[in-house]
A and B are shown apart, each in its own frame.
Chain A
Amino acid sequence: MTTDLGMPAFAPRGVGHLRGDQSFPEAAREALGNKQLRSNLGRATATIRTKRAAVVAEVPDWADLRTAGAAIKDAVLADLGAQLLRLEKQVTAHGGHVHWARDANEANRIVTDLVRATGQTDVVKVKSMATQEIGLNEALAEAGIAAWETDLAELIVQLADDRPSHILVPAIHRNRTEIRDIFLREMGRAGVPAPAGLTDEPRELAEAARLHLRAKFLSAQVAISGANFAVAETGTLAVVESEGNGRMCLTLPKTLITVMGIEKLLPTWRDLEVFLQLLPRSSTGERMNPYTSMWTGVTPGDGPQEFHLVLLDNGRTATLADPDGRAALRCIRCSACLNVCPVYERTGGHAYGSVYPGPIGAVLSPQLTGVKDNPSLPFASSLCGACYDVCPVAIDIPTMLVHLRAEAVASKGMKAERAAMGGVSSLMRHPRLYGAALRMGRLGRILGRRRGVIRRLPWPMSAWTRARDLPLPPTETFRDWWVRTHGSP
C-alpha cells in the first residue's frame, strides 16, 4: 500500500472531467462570441431565477432552514470518518455492499468490475454528477460496456456527443430546434429512432425520449446512479428527480450501483426534513420535485436485489483539509448559484472546463484538482456575492474565491502582476511621482480612440486586458480636478 503522508490527495489527472483544455478567459472568449448560446442561457436562467425567488419567498422560515442546512453539513464534515462508518454498517446490515474509492480511477475500476460480474454489456444511468466527474461512461466504454444516460438533458448531451453545461439542466445551451435535429439524426443509431415528422415542440420531444428509452428501461439488468443524500443513521439513500427515469433505474434492474461523493452524508433521518425543503425550491424552483426515491439496502421482492454503494474521495479529503475551503463540501448541487451568476449567464458552463461550472465550480473544481491545475477558475467571478445570497447551505463563495486566488497566485508565481503591484506601491509612497504617473495615464486615450474602450494595453500590461476591456482614462485626473476646483491638494 502506498501512503502519501502529508501530501493532499487531489483528483488525478488524465481521467474524468474536472479540468478544461483551456483557461477560463480563453474558453469564455469563445463562448461570448456564440449568440445562440447567450440567448438560450439568458432566457433559461432568467426563467428559473424568477421561479426560485417565488417559491423561496413563500417559506416563512427559509433563513432558519438555511442556517440548519449549513450546520448539518458542517456537522457531517467535522465527524466524517465516523459518519461514513455508520453508513457502511447500516447499508451492509440491510443487504447492501459498500466499496471505497480513493480516486476516479479506482471508482471506475470498481464499477467496471461490478458490471462485468453481472455479465451485462449495457447499463442504464440516472443523471449523476459524481459519475461525470470521474468519467465513468468513458471507462465503461473502454471495457465494452454501453452506458445509456436516461435523464432527458443527459440524453441530449450524450446523443450529440456534447458536454453538459449546467448541473441541473445539462443541455441548457441547446434550444428546441437544435434538440429536434439531434434526436432526428442520432436516436436511430442508439436504439428506437425518433418519430418521423418530429417537431420542436417540447411535449413532442419529451414523448420521443419516452419512446426511445422505454425499451431500455424494460430490459435493463443493471443501473448506475448517484445519490443526493445518504443518511448515516439509517443507511438510507435518496435520489431526487423529475422525469421518472430515476425511478425506472432504481426500481426495475436486478443490480443497482450507486456512486456517491463522501460528503453527501446527512447524520440523521430527521435531517431530510431540512434538505427536502431546501433542495427542490433552490434547484428547479418547485415546491417539491415530482419524484424522490429512498431506499435502504435491499428490500426482498421490491426493486434491485443486489445493491452496491461506491464511496468516492477523488479530492474531497484534500478539500476537507483546508479550513477556509472545506465549506464547498456542503454543496448539494442545486445550481441556484449558476442561475444568478452574471458571469455564468454570459459564458455558459463549458468555459469552466469542469463538470462543476458556475460559482460553486469555481471554488470546488480547483480544490478537488489542486489550485495548480485550475488556476484561472478562482478568477472567473466578479465577486458580486449573488451566489452566496441564494446558496441554500450558505457557502460563502466570494470569500472562498478570494482565498483561492491567493493560492493561485502563490502556486503560479504570477510574477508580472506581483511586480506591477510592487511598482504601484512604491509610486504611491511618492505623491509627486504618483501624480505624474496618473497624468501619464491620459495618454491611454489614444489606445481607445476608435472604440471608446481600450481592448489591448501594450506589454506588460497586456496581461490585464487579455480578459477585460478597459474604459478610457478621463481627460483630467481626480487630483488635477481637485486642485483646479479646491485649490491645494
Chain B
Amino acid sequence: MNAARTEILRRIDAAISRSAPVEIPRTYRGPSGEGRGSAAVVDLMQDRLVDYKAVVHRVEPAQVRAVIAAALADAGVERAVVPAGFPTEWLPSGPAWVQDDPALTAAELDDLDGVLTTCRIAVAETGTIVLDAGQGQGRRALSLVPDYHLVVVLADQIVASVPDAVAELDPTRPLTWISGPSATSDIELQRVEGVHGPRRLVVLLVTG
C-alpha cells in the first residue's frame, strides 16, 4: 500500500514538475452577510422552498406551537422524534414525542411518523436548509429515516447566498444541505418529489 502511495506521488511529480502556481481570481460575489434575516431574504427563501414543493408556513414566534400542532394533525403525524435541544415550548400536546436517548435503531426510526428539527443556517437564493447535527437537530439519521420532516427556521438564520453559508459553517461537523423534499428526475427527466429521504418537508419560517 505504501508502494502505491510512493508510486502515485512519483508519477504526479514527474507529470507536473514544471507547473507554475495558479492564481484564483475571486471576482464573483463572495460572502457579504448582506440582507441576513431581512424581509426580502425571507421572501426569497419562501419562494424557493415552494418551488421545490416544500410546505411553507410564515409565522410569528408566538404562533410556532400552534402551527406545529396544526401541521402535524394535518399530516397525521402521531409519533415523532424530537432531538435534544429542540425548544420544548414549541411542542404541542397530543403527539407522542420520542427521544433519541438511548439512540434509536434505523428500524425504530422507520416506525415513527416524523421528525422535528431546528437548523444551523439557511440559504435564500437556493432555498437550502443546512443541518450540522447541533442542538435541536440531532444526528443525521433522525432527519433522514422518518418520512415527514418539519424544520423550524428563524429569520436571522437565513443568509442570502451560498458563500455566506459556507463562511459560517464548521466543516468538522457532519453537514446535511437540504433543498426541498427528496426527489428524482431519473425517469424521462420528469421530477418526482419523494424517494428515499422524507417525502414531505414542512418549513416554518419564524419572523419578528
- Asked whether any CB of chain B lies closer than 8 Å to the CB of A44, the reply is yes
Instruction: List which B111-170 residues lie within 8 A (CB) of chain A.
Output: 123, 125-128, 133, 139-141, 144-145, 162-163, 166-167
CB-CB contacts of A231-259 with B at 8 A, as 1s and 0s?
A: 10010100000111101101110000000
Q: List the interface of chain A (C-beta within 8 A of B).
A: 1, 3, 9, 40, 43-44, 47-48, 60-61, 64-65, 67-68, 71-72, 74-75, 77-81, 84-85, 94, 99-102, 106, 110, 150-153, 156, 169, 171-172, 175-176, 179, 202-203, 205-207, 209-210, 213-214, 217-218, 231, 234, 236, 242-245, 247-248, 250-252, 262, 269-270, 272-274, 276-277, 280, 284, 286-296, 299, 301-303, 311, 313, 317-318, 320-321, 326
Q: Which residue of A lies closest to B2 (CB)?
A: A100
In the bound complex, do residue A94 and residue B187 qualify as a contact, i.e. CB atoms below 8 Å apart?
Answer: no
Give the shortest distance, in Å, between A27 (CB) and chain B (any CB).
24
Per the bound structure, the CA–CA distance linking A251 and B196 in Å amounts to 13
B23: chain A residues within 8 A (beta carbon): 71
Known: A236-B171, A286-B179. A99 touches B1 (CB 8 A): yes
Contact of B144 among A207, A244, A318 (CB under 8 A): A244
Q: Are A302 and B140 in contact (CB under 8 A)?
A: yes
Q: Return the chain B residue nearest A155 by Cβ.
A: B186
A273–B29 Cα distance when bound, in Å, is 10
**Residue of B179, B189, B192 touching A169 (CB-CB under 8 A):** B189
Name which residue of chain B comes closest to A3, CB basis.
Answer: B7
A269 touches B185 (CB 8 A): no
Are B15 and A317 in contact, with the CB atoms below 8 A? yes
Please, how many angstroms separate the alpha-carbon atoms of A83 and B158 in the complex?
33
Q: A80-B12, A295-B174, A295-B175 are in contact. List 5 more A-B contacts (CB 8 A).
A: A100-B5, A217-B196, A293-B174, A303-B174, A320-B12
B37 within 8 A of A: no
User: What are 20 inter-chain pairs, A to B, with CB distance below 8 A?
Assistant: A43-B189, A60-B29, A68-B25, A72-B24, A75-B22, A79-B19, A99-B1, A102-B4, A152-B187, A175-B188, A203-B194, A236-B172, A243-B184, A243-B186, A287-B127, A290-B179, A291-B176, A295-B174, A320-B12, A321-B15
CB distance from B116 to the nearest CB of A (A): 18
Cβ of B196 and Cβ of A248 under 8 Å apart? yes
How close is A100's CB to chain B, nearest CB, in angstroms?
A: 4
Contact of B52 with A290 in the complex, beta carbons under 8 Å: yes
Residues from chain A with a CB closer than 8 A to the CB of B31 are 273
List A contacts of B127 (CB < 8 A).
Answer: 287-288
Q: How far is the CA of A293 from the CA of B164 in the complex (A)?
A: 18
Q: With A74-B22, A292-B177, A293-B175 as given contacts, are A153 and B12 in contact (CB-CB < 8 Å)? A: no
- Residue B178 at the A interface, CB < 8 A? yes
Main DSSP-derived SS at the A contact region: helix
Task: Identify whether the interface residues of B are mostly helix, strand, loop, or mixed.
Answer: loop
Contact between chains at A247 and B21 (CB < 8 Å) = no
Q: Find chain A residues with CB under 8 A from B88 CB.
A: none
Q: For B139, give the chain A residue with the smallest CB separation.
A: A302
Contact of A102 among B8, B14, B183 (CB under 8 A): B8
Chain A residues with CB under 8 Å of B172's CB are: 94, 234, 236, 296
Give Cα A211 to B163, complex, Å: 37
Give complex CA distance A213, B184 in Å.
Answer: 15
| Bound-state Cα–Cα, A272 to B125, Å | 16
Distance in angstroms from A66 CB to nearest chain B CB is 9
Contact size range, B? 35 or more
- Contact call B15/A243, Cβ cutoff below 8 A: no
A244 to B176, CA, bound (A): 11
A286: which B residues are within 8 A, CB to CB? 179
Q: Tell me how far the C-beta of B55 lies from the nearest C-beta in chain A, rounded to whole angstroms.
A: 15
Q: How far is the CB of A269 from chain B (nearest CB, A)?
A: 5
Query: Is there an interface contact between A287 and B195, defined as CB atoms closer than 8 Å?
Result: no
Q: Is the CB of B25 within 8 A of A67?
A: yes
Instruction: Name the 5 nearest CB pairs between A and B, nearest first.
Output: A244-B197, A244-B196, A317-B11, A288-B126, A64-B28
Given A94-B172, A153-B186, A242-B182, A102 and B48 touching (CB < 8 A)?
Answer: no
Q: Quick check: is B30 within 8 A (CB to CB) of the other chain?
A: yes
When C-beta atoms are compared, the residue in chain B nearest to A88 turns out to be B5
- Binary interface encoding of chain B residues 182-208 relative to chain A, with 1 for a CB under 8 A from any of its CBs, else 0: 111111111010111110000000000
Q: Is the CB of B15 within 8 A of A320?
A: yes
Instruction: Using CB atoms, name the residue of chain B closest to A46.
Output: B189
Pair A291/B178 contact, Cβ less than 8 Å: yes
In the complex, the answer to whether A68 meets B144 with C-beta atoms within 8 Å is no
Interface members, chain B 1-59 (any A CB < 8 Å): 1, 3-16, 19-31, 48, 51-52
Alpha-carbon separation in the docked complex, A100 to B125 (Å): 39
Is the Cβ of B197 less than 8 Å from the Cβ of A247? Answer: yes
Complex contact A234–B182 (CB within 8 A): no
Cβ-closest chain A residue relative to B140: A251
Say yes or no: A71 contacts B24, CB within 8 Å.
yes
Q: By the criterion CB–CB under 8 Å, are A288 and B190 in contact?
A: no
Q: How many angstroms from the CA of A210 to the CA of B193 in the assembled complex?
A: 12
- Asked if residues B186 and A151 are in contact (CB atoms below 8 Å), the reply is yes
Q: With the chains together, A54 CA to B162 CA distance in Å?
A: 19
Residue pair A81, B12 in contact (C-beta under 8 Å): yes
Chain B residues within 8 Å of A106, by CB: 4
Q: How far is the CA of A250 from the CA of B141 in the complex (A)?
A: 10
Taking a contact as CB atoms under 8 Å apart, the answer to whether A290 and B189 are in contact is no
Return chain A residues, CB-CB under 8 Å to B103.
301
CB neighbours (8 Å) of B25 from chain A are 64, 67-68, 71
| Known contacts A3-B7, A202-B188; A290 and B171 CB within 8 A of each other | no
Separation of A60 and B160 alpha carbons in the complex (Å): 14
Distance in angstroms between the alpha carbons of A252 and B1 in the assembled complex: 28
CB pair B27 A64 closer than 8 Å: yes
**Chain B contacts for A60, CB-based, 8 A:** 29
- Nearest CB on A from B134, distance (A): 11
Closest-CB distance, B187 to chain A (whole angstroms): 4
| CB neighbours of A245 from chain B (8 A) | 195-196
Q: How far is it, in angstroms, between the C-alpha of A171 and the C-alpha of B8 when the chains are bound?
A: 34
Assess the B185–A284 pair: CB atoms within 8 A: yes
User: Considering the chains assembled together, what is the distance between the CA atoms of A99 and B144 in angstroms?
Assistant: 29
Tell me whether B140 and A68 are in contact (CB under 8 A): no
Known: A206-B194, A247-B197. A61 touches B27 (CB 8 A): yes
